[in-house]
Structure 1
Amino acid sequence: MLNAGQPYAGTHSPTPHTCQEDFLGIGIWDRRQGIEPSLRLRRAIHSADTLLVRRILKSHPSLLQNPDSTPTGLSNTNLHLASSLGHTSIVSLLLSLYRPANTPPTTNPKDIPALSSLPLNEEYQTPLHLASANGHTEIVHLLCAACPGCIKRGDIRGRDALMLASKEGHDTVVQILLTFSPAGPEALLEGADLDGNTALHFASSSGHLLVLRTLLAAGADSDRRNAWSWTPVAYSATVQAEVYFKGLVGEVERRKAVRREVKEKGTGGAVRVVREGEEM
């Protein structure tokens, strides 16, 4: 029992401040255990705790990038982690904390970086690569709007976000990337990885029929060959997929032929004036 005037000798005083921190997920225990703010920040991102992420970055603004230095971390930044996990509110918060892209460069490492380009990890992947591969459509939309010039950027294997989304079958992501491509969808569809594979090769080999239709409708070249002279249709996952692919190609070719014919002949026709009393 406590004597009169004797101070409380428990583990910690249950003040409102500590209760709030315990509720938010990183409280007194983390600090007493000597856990670094960088690790606490990554834990908060894993927990999708946007308010806690905001509080930590307000106290430690230099941790905006916070690359993961663990052996399997690939130097992924906070933006990489939040984008791969699909935490839209945290991605939006992180993007808002970067300096505008048009601000002059700085040599001070303590300064907040500008969003002239998305950060890269050890595999030269941007957060857009990870969000696209995981099918997080809202985050892909945010990142494309923040850095449209990053859409065509390839990783260490030469694969851009469109190829990864096509490989995993995320049709909505594919449509967003094609829409936001600064040079138009045709320029993005022409991209190939180090093995010469295009987004159409990846969609075909994985059997994603809806993505195949989207890519072909956008103008993907079905005759494009990779480094081993294989066309996308040669990588069809099943016989049924091959038949469907060839049917799509035939449909696209027929539509192109109709458009060419209309363009050559013109859409207007001669009009004969019929006078009163004449037979038509």
Structure 2
Amino acid sequence: MIDISIRLRRAILLNDIALVQRIVKSNPKSLKNADIEDRSNTSLHLAAKEGFVEIVEYLIYAGHEDKGISKNADWETPLMVAAEFKQVDVALLLIEKCSRCVPWTNKSGMDALMLSCRSGTTTLLVPLLTAVPIPCSATSHDIHGTTALHYASASGELKAMRILLEHGANAFAKNMYNWTPIAYSSTKEAELYFKSLIKEFEIRRVERERGEREREREREVGGETVTLPPRGDSITGMKGMRGTGVRLVTSDDMEIMGPPSMAARNEWSPVEARRAMTPTASKSSDSWAGFGKAGGRVRASSGD
């Protein structure tokens, strides 16, 4: 007779919900059914990877996650697996039914948001960034200091970059290798678009802070109408911003962020093949293999 654990996995892979239900009801202790030979993936991991929404929903109903969020040998939750394999419907269901797993991270310090950016599953970004009670953070980073914005930039996901910036991602964030997200731009076009986004959001921020200062000054005079100085502190008159504490994008900032053609003066340039320490070169399990798309610009490598 075939072992129960094998039968259950086969039923899941066949997407046979009726058979899964019969096996689980007859063998409730085999519900999770972690497979040691498959990185200890549970029944829910397997169903999430395959995108079988009905089975995922039943497993949750049967109590699969009642005693704690399932994690495999790499500390990945079923939600992370769904995000990595672009199973959007399953991921949305897990965000709704098992929301406490949203901010969890794997052994590499990556959460579902970073995995979604790396895999290009942009549909999940807003649900993850607005999940209740604890959403993913656009400023979080993995064990290498790499943020979701780094991953989105390396994947050429332009929509993801805009969404992350709208939710507070730091375009100037550096990972442990001293690279900013723009250094990982997959193409020249993606780099130019990224720069335009940075300028757009910087303009928004400066205008917002200027408006807040004006409202504060009005409150200080008891709500009376006051004549404010000329708009010398607007975007068109950046000289007036000196001494205000508002940080604008400067030429130095843009040199730090790119473009790579300007980096010849910087020994740590991400376009120099001899320089190590960029994720595209790693052969480890948490490398960025697959980010260098055919026809894309050559980015940093270790020189191995």
Whether these two folds match at TM > 0.5 is yes
1:115 Cα offset (Å): 2.2
- Distance, in Å, in 2 between the alignment partners of 1:251 and 1:178 is 21
Q: Shift of the alpha carbon at 1:69? A: 2.5
**1:216 aligns with one of 156, 165, 170:** 165
What is the TM-score with the length of structure 2 in the denominator? 0.68
2:132 and 2:162 mapped to 1: Cα distance?
Answer: 19
Counterpart of 1:93, as a letter, is: Y
- Give the Cα–Cα distance (whole angstroms) in 1 for the partners of residues 16 and 205 of structure 2: 51
Counterpart CA distance in 2 for 1:252 and 1:160 is 25
Q: CA deviation at 1:147?
A: 2.9
Specify the code of the residue in structure 1 equivalent to 2:208.
R
Across the aligned residues of Structure 1 and Structure 2, the Cα RMSD in angstroms comes to 2.0
Is 1:67 equivalent to 2:34 in the alignment?
A: yes
Structure 2: tracts of 5 or more residues without a match: 226-304
Match of 1:93 in 2: 58
Amino acid corresponding to residue 154 of structure 1 in structure 2: T
2:27 matches 1:76: no
The residue that corresponds to 1:16 in the other structure is: none
Q: Distance in 2 between matches of 1:93 and 1:138?
A: 14
Deviations 1:206-234 (A, max 9, x none): 11111111111111001110001110011
Write out per-residue CA displacement over residues 117-157 of structure 1, whole angstroms, 9 at most, x where no aligned residue: 32111111110110111222222222122332321211111
- 1:139 is paired with a residue whose SS is helix
1:117 & 1:141 partners in 2: Cα distance? 19
Between the aligned partners of 1:157 and 1:183, the Cα distance in structure 2 is 20
User: Which of the residues 58, 64, 68 maps onto 2:25?
Assistant: 58
Structure 2: distance between partners of 1:203 and 1:138: 21
Q: 2:16 aligns with which of 49, 53, 56?
A: 49
Separation of aligned partners in 2, 1:151 and 1:227: 25
Matches within 5 A, 1:212-251: 212-251=161-200
Shift of 1:93: 0.3
Q: 1:114 Cα shift?
A: 5.4
Letter in 2 for 1:69: I
Pairing 1:204–2:171 present: no
CA distance in 2, matches of 1:213, 1:114: 34
Question: Would the alpha carbon gap of residues 255 and 205 (structure 1) be closer, same or farther in structure 2, given more than 3 Å must change?
Answer: same
Is it true that 1:150 corresponds to 2:108 in the alignment? no
Q: How does 1:69-148 map to 2 (within 5 A)?
A: 69-70=36-37, 73-98=38-63, 115-148=66-99
Preserved CA contact (<8 Å) 1:135 1:173: no
Inter-CA distance 189–117: structure 2 relative to 1 (3 Å threshold): farther
> Structure 2 counterpart of 1:207, which letter?
G
Call closer, same or farther: CA 1:164–1:263 in 2, change over 3 Å: same
What TM-score, normalized to structure 1? 0.74
User: Gaps (5+ residues) in structure 1?
Assistant: 1-33, 99-112, 272-280
What is the DSSP-based 3-state SS (H/G/I as helix, E as strand, rest coil) of the residue aligned with 1:180?
A: coil
190 and 117 in structure 1: CA distance in 2 versus 1, 3 angstrom threshold: farther
- Structure 1, residues 21-57: CA drift from partner, whole Å, max 9, x if none? xxxxxxxxxxxxx211211111111111111111110
Tell whether the 8 Å contact from 2:103 to 2:134 is kept in structure 1 after alignment: no
Where in structure 2 are the equivalents of 1:170-185 lying within 5 Å? Answer: 170-180=121-131, 182-184=133-135
Matched letter for residue 67 of structure 1: A
Indicate conservation of the 8 Å contact 1:140/1:176, yes or no: no
